[in-house]
Amino acid sequence: MHSDGTESPAQVMAAAHRNGLRTAALTDHDTTSGWAEAAEAATSLGMTFVPGMELSARHDWRSVHVLAYLIDPDDPDLRAMTDRIRSSRLDRARVMADRISRDYDLAWEDIVAQTGQDATVGRPHIADALVARGLVRDRAEAFSSILSPGGDYYVALYAPDPVTAVELVVGAGGVPVIAHPAGRAGLLPEPLMERMLQAGLAGFELGHRENMPEATRVLRRLSAERDLIVTGSSDYHGLGKPNQPGENTTDDEMVARIFERATGSAPVHP
Ligand code: AMP
């Protein structure tokens, strides 16, 4: 991964292959820089590679992740937005590090040491630095304590509103799907979802361990009524999360619909 997973794109594809997957996507936060390595690794293992990205968005205080399958990686508007998000992520990580270092023995260099070259910096890298310093046990503890949005050290990152995010993905020929849309934060407000659908939102990632059953049922009904695309994915992060490749999958019919709808880039077959 080239964002906040602990494995390289090739290792992620190898893990998918070990777990029996025939098709796998790489959806790093706000970057496509891992595609070439992942495509090479996946196809050499006989798998189809689906290029993707997870675009950061924000609605009021809450972060919304828009999966962007088969986008044109050189689309200028989308590139400008991801450049802006990534640079703001870096500034934000520095401010959070400053705040944390007032109370804990943590330096900016500790975070840099946890961040791969060209990686999209996020709280997971700060979490890894806190773990390396022995200040917390693991990422989960870091997220529920020092890095929590309610805490003194948290800084929100810049991200476009979810409708703009969908427009950008559609403009880049991609297929936008809301990631883990039924998580603990609850469903997005209906009018917002409606505006996202009007803008070209293709569907929802309903197979994800963070989705809650009742909210998932609501979106499943909506998806059936509106003939939307429904996906499932593991959100594998290597050692960064317990998620395992293949714990959720996307039906062949839905994969085919994503392939048909996209004009930005193509799946890479073995
Ligand atoms: P950020 O975008 O920098 O605010 O960080 C959010 C990212 O951290 C999410 O996209 C997840 O990949 C990851 N994350 C959130 N909560 C946890 C957790 N409890 N354990 C590990 N990773 C997490």
Q: Is the CB of 2 under 6 A from ligand 1?
A: no
What is the CB neighbour count within 10 angstroms for residue 266?
A: 11
Confidence band of 159 (pLDDT split at 50, 70, 90): very high
Burial of 105 (0-12, 13-18, 19+ CB in 10 A): exposed
By residue count, the chain amounts to: 270
Q: Is the CB of 5 under 6 A from ligand 1?
A: no
Q: CB–CB of 203/229 below 8 Å?
A: yes
Question: Which H/E stretch holds residue 45?
Answer: none
Confidence band of 105 (pLDDT split at 50, 70, 90): very high
CA 38 to chain centre: 16
CATH superfamily of this structure's domain 28-33+51-86+160-261:
Metal-dependent hydrolases (3.20.20.140)
Residue 1, pLDDT above cutoff 80: no
Which pLDDT does position 2 carry in this prediction? 79
% of the chain beyond a pLDDT of 90: 93
Q: What is the CATH number of domain 90-144?
A: 1.10.150.650
Confidence band of 116 (pLDDT split at 50, 70, 90): confident
Confidence band of 15 (pLDDT split at 50, 70, 90): very high
Question: CA-to-CA distance for 131 and 42, rounded, in angstroms?
Answer: 31
**Which atom from ligand 1 is nearest to the alpha carbon of 122?**
3
**Identity of residue 90:** L
Residue-wise pLDDT for 37-82, tens only, equals: 999 999 999 999 999 999 999 999 899 999 999 999 999 999 999 9
Q: How many CA atoms lie within 13 A of 100 on its CB side?
A: 28
Question: CA-to-CA distance for 127 and 130, rounded, in angstroms?
Answer: 5
State whether the Cα torsion 161-122-5-238 is positive or negative: negative
Higher pLDDT, 178 or 119: 178
State whether the Cα torsion 31-88-235-179 is positive or negative: negative
Which pLDDT does position 4 carry in this prediction? 86
Q: CB–CB of 132/111 below 8 Å?
A: no
* Two structure tokens written together for 184: 């603990």
Which pLDDT does position 225 carry in this prediction? 98
Residue-wise pLDDT for 220-259, tens only, equals: 999 999 999 999 999 999 988 999 999 999 999 999 999 9
Q: What is the DSSP letter of 204?
A: E
Which residue has a Cα nearest atom 14 of ligand 1? Answer: 124
Residue-wise pLDDT for 31-41, tens only, equals: 999 999 999 99
Question: CA-to-CA distance for 89 and 81, rounded, in angstroms?
Answer: 12
Q: Is the CB of 54 under 6 A from ligand 1?
A: no
% of the chain beyond a pLDDT of 70: 100
Which residue has a Cα nearest atom 13 of ligand 1? Answer: 124
Q: Do domains 28-33+51-86+160-261 and 90-144 have the same CATH topology?
A: no
Structural domain boundaries in the chain:
28-33+51-86+160-261, 90-144
Q: Is the CB of 239 under 6 A from ligand 1?
A: no
Question: CA-to-CA distance for 52 and 50, rounded, in angstroms?
Answer: 6
Q: Is the CB of 124 under 6 A from ligand 1?
A: yes
Question: CA-to-CA distance for 204 and 164, rounded, in angstroms?
Answer: 17
Strands 62-69 and 175-178: antiparallel
Which residue has a Cα nearest atom 16 of ligand 1? Answer: 143
Residue-wise pLDDT for 190-218, tens only, equals: 999 999 999 999 999 999 999 999 999 99
**Which atom from ligand 1 is nearest to the alpha carbon of 237?**
12
Q: Is the CB of 75 under 6 A from ligand 1?
A: no
Confidence band of 118 (pLDDT split at 50, 70, 90): confident
Residue 96: which residues within 8 A CB-CB, separation 6 or more? 123, 126, 147, 153, 154, 155
Which pLDDT does position 155 carry in this prediction? 94
Residue-wise pLDDT for 76-101, tens only, equals: 999 999 999 999 999 999 999 999 99
- Report the separation in Å between the CA atom of 50 and the middle of ligand 1, taken as the mean of its atom positions: 23
Q: CB–CB of 160/57 below 8 Å?
A: yes
Span 148-162, average pLDDT: 95
Q: Is the CB of 140 under 6 A from ligand 1?
A: yes
